[in-house]
Copies of this chain bind each other. A is one copy, B any other.
Amino acid sequence: MKICLIGAGNLATQLGLALAEKGHQLVQVWSRTQKSASELASKLNCPYTTEISLISSDTDIYIVAISDTALASVLSQRNWNDTLVVHTAGSTPMSILAPYCNNYGVFYPFQTFTITKKVEFDQIPVCIEANSPRNLNVLKELAQSISQNIKFIDSDQRQQIHLAAVFACNFVNHFYAIGEELLREKGIDFEILKPLILETASKITSQSPASSQTGPASRNDSIVIDKHLSMLTNHPDLKNLYKQISERIIQSHK
């Protein structure tokens, strides 16, 4: 397929690379900033523009991978005619595209992306939704060209999936960072936590996380919990989080 990428951030970069690798023709990259547009275009070996009016019409699909806040503003500045337009946002309903396009949908690869880390798309769930069976079929074929894991997910479900991911991925990563910070205070290298972090994640492949909870709160070990709370006296925000999360774990083990 001929694909025009609107956006050049983490998701646009990794998705663009995966699509190019599977033989799709990346016809153009648009980004508001010249630097990111040119960087991604050079990776994909295709032209780029920073002008919305100069976005190519010679494409089968526009994949709009920009921030939720910029979405409506960018979409409103151009006539998309009958070309299929999809956004890639977790928490934005498909209907946001309705005022601007005749053929539209959502193409949401459910993964965390960073510009510098290559991602294997093969097993990534790609959540798709479209305003017609014909458009859904186009998205299905596009998704199948990069992944074996296609999910038909409506806007309401996708929003919930995104919310679940904020807890299970974004907040989890922040808790890794908290661990790093606490170790640094005592001059201990973050390295020591890595096997534990990897094993904790790996456990979900064989056990439900609710049933495999470990740690002081799951044993309701008040001696250790109180000791940890006293160690967090200089971090009132962490002390608060520690209390609330431990309380949730204790309740869920009753």
Q: What residue of chain B has the Cβ atom nearest to residue A212's Cβ?
A: B114
Residues of B with C-beta under 8 A to A116: 207
Q: Cβ of B203 and Cβ of A201 under 8 Å apart?
A: no
Contact A203 B168 (CB under 8 A): no
Interface size on A, residues (CB 8 A): 96
Knowing A69-B223, A182-B160, say if A176 contacts B204 (CB, 8 Å).
yes
Q: In the bound complex, how far is the Cα of B164 from the Cα of A205, in angstroms?
A: 23
- Does A46 reach chain B (CB closer than 8 Å)? no
Residues of B within 8 A of A240 (CB): 244
Set B151, B214, B223, B231: member contacting A112, Cβ < 8 A: B214
Contact of A173 among B91, B165, B214, B223 (CB under 8 A): B214
Contact A192 B111 (CB under 8 A): no
The answer to whether the Cβ of A57 comes within 8 Å of any Cβ in the partner chain is no
Q: A67 within 8 Å of B by Cβ? A: yes
Q: Render A171-214 as a binary contact track against B, CB cut-off 8 A, 1 for contact.
A: 11111111111110111101011111111111111111110111
Q: Say yes or no for A125: interface residue by CB 8 A criterion.
A: yes
Give the distance to chain B from A208, nearest Cβ to Cβ, in Å: 7
Once bound together, how far apart are the Cα atoms of A197 and B163, in whole Å?
A: 14
- Asked if A124 is at the interface of the complex by the 8 Å CB criterion, the answer is yes
Partner of A186, one of B160, B168, B185, B217: B160
Judged by a CB distance under 8 angstroms, whether A117 is at the interface is yes
Q: Which of A26-34, A77-85, A245-253 contacts B (4 or more CB under 8 A)?
A: A245-253
Given contacts A177-B210, A237-B248, 9 further A-B contacts (CB under 8 A): A69-B223, A112-B196, A114-B203, A156-B186, A164-B178, A169-B214, A171-B215, A194-B204, A197-B204
Q: Would you mind naming 29 contact pairs between A and B with Cβ atoms under 8 Å apart?
A: A90-B224, A91-B228, A110-B195, A112-B214, A114-B203, A114-B214, A119-B199, A125-B195, A161-B193, A163-B232, A164-B182, A164-B183, A167-B175, A168-B179, A168-B193, A168-B200, A169-B214, A170-B215, A170-B249, A172-B176, A172-B200, A174-B213, A177-B252, A180-B208, A198-B202, A198-B205, A200-B201, A201-B202, A237-B244
